[in-house]
């Protein structure tokens, strides 16, 4: 096979078939996919959950992950956040002509590795090749079906008095991508938090913890999740600024560019609303996962300013933590 992807490999003919067979099927092969039918026939699931997401990231490979890992984590995490064990995924790729075959292989291997962590398989897929300049390297769309292991997790279950917990330090993915994209020469060990969250959720459920709501804080970061929750329930979420875990590296990048960590994306960090009595055990369980020693109770659900998120400073002042708006742009001066 050629060293770079050519338009001919998306022609639906022999070259296309060879690409699918030698790259995708070779790594993802399983009983359902191997049948090569137009649609995958799946076993009946008790409480199915279904989700889909598209992934575009520059650069394709970043510290802590790549677009392949991201595309599995993103979809599986959406299922996990509803208490769903990831089972079946579809994977659709749009490849820019000229992408190195080595890069594609690396991405596919990364997908395979992350699938294993979730106990999920690829059962359906699609490959398109488009002329140079049409997409930025490679776009991936994954859809996923999971099986809910419990009832009662959802945005409407959040109630006054709930504790708010984050699973680790925030803003790593956004900061790592910014640093990598802008070629900032940072001498730091900053890596994206990109990770699968089903193992975390499974451990919580196994221990008998029943969170009221879970949400992975992806684009829009912690601020977007909290505002969504406050808005949906017309409740006030009150957060202690001092308690929000942020690494020194992320804080440094935020200082340089004028960002706030709460607005930066995460790809392996989630927020929980739960019974305050469960917090100590939850923090103990999360400690076993990478970054989990930074998990923190950051606030609680109140009624003071309905629909708003209030941030309390360590020096006794209060302000709103608003929705992120517009493009993230560095400040001028």
Selection from 144, 162, 187, 168 nearest residue 276 by Cα = 162
Closer residue to other proteins in complex, CB, 89/321:
321
Question: In the complex with other proteins, which residue's Cβ is closer, 156 or 313?
Answer: 313
From CA 66, how far away is CA 61, in angstroms rounded?
4
Nearest distance from C-beta of residue 137 to other proteins, angstroms: 19
Task: Give the nearer residue to other proteins in terms of CB position, either 43 or 255.
Answer: 255
Q: Which stretch binds other proteins (CB under 8 A): 10-18, 46-54, 196-204, 320-328?
A: 320-328
Rounded to the nearest whole angstrom, what is the least distance from the CB of residue 109 to other proteins in the complex?
A: 33
77, 80, 86, 92: CA torsion to nearest 10: -30
Site string for other proteins, 127-166 (x = CB under 8 A): ----------------------------------------
Q: Does 330 bind other proteins (CB under 8 A)?
A: yes
Q: Does 189 bind other proteins (CB under 8 A)?
A: no
Number of neighbouring beta carbons within 10 Å of residue 144? 27
Question: The tokens 């039918």 sit on which residue?
Answer: 37
Residue 21 interacts with other proteins (CB under 8 A)? Answer: no
Cα distances (Å, whole numbers) of residue 13 to 4, 222, 242, 252: 18, 46, 59, 51
Q: Does 307 bind other proteins (CB under 8 A)?
A: no
Q: Which residues are CB-contacts of 67 (< 8 A; sequence separation ≥ 6)?
A: 55, 56, 57, 60, 61, 107, 137, 138, 140
Residues lying near other proteins in the complex (CB under 8 A) are found at 182, 242, 248, 251-252, 255-258, 305, 308, 310, 313-320, 322, 325-327, 329-333
């Amino acid at each position: 096979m050629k060293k770079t992807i050519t338009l001919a490999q998306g022609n639906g003919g022999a070259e296309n078939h060879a690409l699918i067979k030698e790259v995708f099927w070779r790594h993802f092969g399983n009983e359902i996919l191997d049948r090569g039918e137009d649609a995958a026939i799946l076993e009946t699931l008790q409480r199915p959950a279904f989700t889909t997401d598209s992934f575009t990231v520059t650069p394709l490979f970043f510290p802590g992950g790549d677009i392949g890992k991201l595309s599995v984590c993103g979809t599986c995490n959406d299922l996990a956040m509803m208490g769903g064990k990831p089972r079946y995924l579809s994977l659709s790729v749009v490849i820019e002509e000229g992408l190195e075959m080595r890069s594609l292989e690396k991405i596919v291997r990364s997908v395979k590795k992350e699938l294993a962590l979730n106990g999920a398989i690829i059962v359906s897929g699609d490959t398109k090749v488009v002329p140079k300049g049409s997409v930025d390297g490679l776009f991936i769309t994954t859809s996923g079906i999971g099986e809910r292991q419990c009832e009662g997790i959802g945005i409407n279950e959040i109630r006054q008095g709930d504790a708010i917990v984050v699973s680790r330090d925030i803003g790593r993915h956004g900061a790592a991508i910014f640093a990598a994209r802008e070629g900032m020469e940072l001498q730091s060990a900053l890596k994206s938090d990109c990770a699968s969250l089903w193992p975390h959720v499974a451990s919580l459920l196994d221990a008998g913890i029943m969170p009221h709501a879970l949400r992975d804080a992806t684009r829009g970061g912690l601020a977007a999740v909290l505002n969504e929750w406050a808005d949906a329930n017309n409740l006030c979420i009150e957060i202690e600024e001092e308690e929000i875990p942020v690494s020194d590296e992320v804080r440094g990048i935020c200082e340089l560019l004028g960002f706030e960590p709460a607005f930066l994306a995460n790809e392996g960090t989630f927020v929980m609303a739960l019974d305050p009595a469960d917090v100590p055990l939850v923090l103990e369980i999360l400690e076993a996962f990478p970054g989990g020693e930074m998990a923190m109770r950051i606030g609680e659900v109140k009624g003071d300013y309905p629909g708003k998120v209030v941030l309390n400073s360590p020096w006794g002042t209060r302000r709103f933590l608003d929705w992120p708006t517009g493009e993230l742009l560095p400040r001028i001066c």
